[in-house]
Amino acid sequence: MSLFVIDRYLGDEVDSTEDRAKALLEKLHQQAKVRQLQLKCKEQKVKAVSKSHSEEEVVDTVEIQDHSEDSEKRKKSKKRKKTFNDETSVEEVNPGLDAEPEVDNLKAKKPRKRKINKDEQEKSISQEAEAEKKEHKKKVSKREAKKSSSSESIHSEDAKPVHKSKHKPGDEKSGKGSRAASEDTKVAPKKNESAEVEVSTTQNEKDGGKKDASVDPNFLLLGGFEAKPVQKVLPVLPQWLAKPNLVQKDIKQNLVSIHDVPYLKPNMLKKMEANKVKSFFPVQAEVIPAILHSCLHGFLVGRGGYRPNDICVSAPTGSGKTLAFVVPIVQVLSARVVCEVRALVVLPTKELAQQVCKVFNVYADGTGLKVVLMAGHKSFSKEQETLVTKKSFGFCSLADILVCTPGRLVDHIHKTEGFTLKHLRFLVIDEADRMIDTMSQDWLPQVINAAYKVEPHDQGMLFTRKMPGVPTAANYGQLQLPLQRLLFSATLTHNPEKLQKLGLYQPRLFTSIYKQPKSNTPQDQNGPSTSENFSLPAGLTHYYIPCNLNSKPLILLHFLLTLRFSRVLCFTNSRESSHRLFLLIKLFGGVNVAEFSSRLTPGERKKALKEFEQGKLQLLISTDATARGIDITGVKCVINYDAPQYIRVYVHRVGRTARGGTAGLAFTMLLRIQEQRYMNMMRDAGVPKLHKQLVLNDNLRQYEQRYEEVLSQLQRVIKEEQAQKRC
């Protein structure tokens, strides 16, 4: 009966008592090792919780628990005996478990009969366990002083019970083998876990790390990380932005004769000589041939039948950007036969649109080209009459070159019958950085959709246009009328995300601004930025005047009355402050002054600019309405009464003087709290040198009494104006 119990415990019945004895011994040895590993883990856990208990008491409690478990297992095995009395055949063992090679070896040997004394086996096992306990105590005593909280958290995890593998119920033959194999599988993870514990403790001994005992053992503390310098991520620009076509800044030293510029026709040369143009500025000498080269085969097709490159120009104010696109457009379109809108020039303000239209009219005179202005100077119905006319066979265009503002253009696209842009060849966007900021109005997508709009009767035409897509042989199989974009600005952004909104095709950039790429060395990363972001006129001298709020009007009067500055353009940040300053200077007397802002009608603004250019006005007070692109002849000095908030605004303000290579002065009145920001802004703009202009209080005292009287008058005048508005 006892042998049968042993066979049932092993999970297999063999023919020989000797084989059974060997199998039992091997099995008991494995169980002893398992118990020993469990004993080690439990001893370590007990010592971590309470160090006051001795190691021998811990071992005794663990042994009592192990003996109770063994007794429970023997009782269970006796109960299972009754259900398997008739089983004599050898049960199959799961081939995926570790017990398979041991059972196969038992079957291969010859059967021998031998009785096993159970008490002797338990004694041998207990002796081995005691020897291992002694070795373990020696190791624990050495490691006890150097234990860390991280090793304790690992031991607590190792002490958790391992889940038994699941087997299908109802399979009687595999029942015994699965139980034996499941116990075998418990051994391997325990070995690995104990190995991990020993490796972690030995590693802590090598490192010599000691942690605070008050730290919660459930948390794993990380450390040993040294601060490392973080490398800055340098922007990766497209090739056309990273390597642009460089243009010289110095205008006077780099003039190019008009006869040395290629692709210019004799008629255009005569027209330029008649307008006293004998040489080109550096920007004009580079951009004009580039545009004309894309139209060598006429304006109906690109060079070689391919789509021409778009062109972007970023050059200082007053460098001749307007003439750089007027001359090639007039020369190319002078060969047209049918009048259609083939060039569209979009500008941000009415005054700038009027100025560009004037230049087009000068060079288009005698060519038969019709230039039309749509900027709100006339009523909408009158502008419609200048755009299209209706005849018996349909609508006919009355404009070859259209100069407009974006809002007025969109109105005509949707409301003017017969107005079409399907023959458009050049799309010019002047002051492109500001036009990009107004992209929220969606004027550009509407223009592009109108340009690529295909009517049903246009399907059979030779030169048609469809929305560009992926360049394939099929797309280039038919000739298409190209649409070329030309962008011009003194502060053109280099942000690819913003430029992507324009839908440029393989663009070329012409600029006088070039950033030297920085290396990844710490000196370059931590040092100040020396690359300039914008290009300023070479003949401009920059000054700043320290002052306070009360002294700003007196300093302006000192410049006008004492220093006798003439043709001074003064900028403020709002039209309200511009109007108050205008009234103050006018009431003070002694200065011919006018204001220029959106408060005035277009006719009043035009009159003020004309009088200023003729020299009738000593001072013109303006908002940023005149800061964009307007060419005011004779401006000798620019005064920033209110400091500009952004560098772009500063560049366009001071760009009203020192135009075309001439000299000019720029003064900025700064409060004490504004000085540091202004210095940083100038450094970023690449200004080589800043001059500090001090105005002594003694020079201002002569105006203080009159200034106090004017202030009381100013309050009364402002109240009267507000009362008139209410009425």
DSSP letters, 379-412, are -HHHHHHHHEEEETTEEEE--SEEEE-HHHHHHH
Sign (positive/negative) of CA torsion 94, 95, 99, 104?
Answer: positive
C-alpha span between 469 and 669 (Å, rounded): 53
Whether residue 498 is found in the same domain as residue 623: no
The answer to whether 609 and 678 have CB atoms below 8 angstroms apart is no
Alpha-helical segments (H) within 334-394:
350-364, 380-387
Q: How far apart are CA 28 and CA 66, in angstroms?
A: 13
Of 437, 421, 419, 420, residue with least CA distance to 429: 437
Same domain, 67 and 113: yes
- Which of 156, 177, 207 delimits the end of a domain? 207
Instruction: Fill in the DSSP letter of residue 144.
Output: G
Q: What is the pLDDT of residue 515?
A: 53
Q: Could you give the 3-state DSSP secondary structure of residue 508? A: strand
The b/e string for 580-594 (b: 16+ C-beta within 10 A; e otherwise) is bbbbbbbebeeebbb
Residue 517 DSSP class? P
Whether residue 634 is contained in a domain is answered as yes
**Is the domain of 326 the same as that of 436?**
yes
Q: In this structure, are 494 and 545 located in the same domain?
A: no
Same domain, 251 and 187: no
Could you tell me if 585 and 555 are in contact, meaning their C-beta atoms sit under 8 angstroms apart? Answer: no
Residue 217: its pLDDT value, please?
Answer: 58
What DSSP string describes 619-670? EEEE-GGGSSS---TT--EEEESS--SSHHHHHHHHTTSSGGG--EEEEEEE
According to the model, what pLDDT value does residue 454 have? 75
- Note whether 449 and 350 are same-domain residues: yes
Q: Left, alpha or beta for 547 (phi > 0: left; psi -120 to 50: alpha)? A: beta
Residues 205-211: contacts with CB under 8 Å, at least 24 apart: 205/143, 205/146, 208/146, 209/148, 210/146, 210/148, 211/148, 211/149, 211/150
Residues 194 and 252 reside in one and the same domain: no
Do residues 325 and 431 lie in contact, with contact meaning Cβ atoms separated by under 8 Å?
Answer: no
Rounded CA separation 315/514 (Å): 11
Q: What is the pLDDT of residue 552?
A: 95
CA–CA separation, 54 and 134 (whole Å): 14
pLDDT at position 353, please?
A: 93
Q: For residue 435, give its domain range.
A: 247-455+480-511
How far are the Cα atoms of 57, 139, 140, 141, 498 from residue 145, in angstroms, in the given order?
Answer: 20, 11, 9, 8, 65
What is the chain's mean pLDDT, rounded? 76
Instruction: Tell me the β-bridge partners of 311.
Output: 486, 508
The token pair that represents 138 in the structure block: 């020696």
Whole-angstrom Cα distance, residue 398 to residue 395?
Answer: 10
The Cα 630–Cα 620 span in angstroms is 14
pLDDT score for 51: 59
Chain centroid to Cα 600, Å, comes to 41
> Which residues are bridge partners to 668 per DSSP?
544, 640
Q: Cβ distance 312 to 427 under 8 Å?
A: no
Is 310:492 a contact under the CB 8 Å cutoff?
A: no
Q: Which of 467, 495, 511 is the last residue of a domain?
A: 511
Cα 710 from chain centroid?
52
Pair of tokens at residue 718: 């402002």
Residue 532 CA to residue 516 CA, distance in Å, equals 9
247 exposure class (CB count in 10 Å sphere: 0-12, 13-18, 19+): buried
Helix 321-333, helix 350-364: angle, nearest 10: 50
Q: In CATH, what number is assigned to the domain containing residue 682?
A: 3.40.50.300
Confirm whether 527 is domain-assigned: no
Is residue 609 within 8 Å of 636, Cβ to Cβ?
A: no
Identify the bridge partners of residue 485 per DSSP, sorted by sequence position. 427
| DSSP H/E element including 314 | strand 311-314
Domain assignment present for residue 178? The answer is yes
**228 lies in a domain?**
no
Q: What is the pLDDT of residues 280-325, one digit of tens each?
A: 999 999 999 999 998 887 777 766 667 889 999 999 888 899 999 9
Asked, for residue 14, whether it belongs to a domain, the answer is yes
Collapsing DSSP to helix, strand or coil, 490 comes out as coil
State the Cα–Cα distance between residues 641 and 552, nearest whole angstrom: 7
pLDDT at 102: 41
Same domain flag for 11 and 96: yes
Is residue 44 assigned to a domain?
Answer: yes
Q: Is 218 part of a structural domain of the chain?
A: no
Amino acid identity of 470? V
Terminal CA-to-CA distance of the chain, rounded, Å?
Answer: 122
Query: Which residues, listed in sequence order, are joined to residue 622 by a DSSP beta bridge?
Result: 571, 596
**Are residues 636 and 677 located together in one domain of the fold?**
yes
Token reading at 170? 């109802």
Clarify whether residues 588 and 505 are in a common domain.
no
Segments in the chain below pLDDT 70: 1-18, 46, 49-126, 128-129, 133, 136, 138-226, 302-305, 440-441, 456-464, 469-471, 473-479, 514-533
- The reply to whether 203 and 287 lie within a common domain is no
Q: Are residues 278 and 375 in the same domain?
A: yes
Q: What is the pTM of this model?
A: 0.66
In a domain? residue 396: yes
pLDDT per position as a tens digit, 334-375: 989 999 999 999 999 888 999 999 999 999 999 999 999 999
> What's the token pair of residue 716?
């009364």
Task: Answer with the one of 207, 234, 268 that is the final residue of a domain.
Answer: 207
Q: How many domains are there within the chain?
A: 3
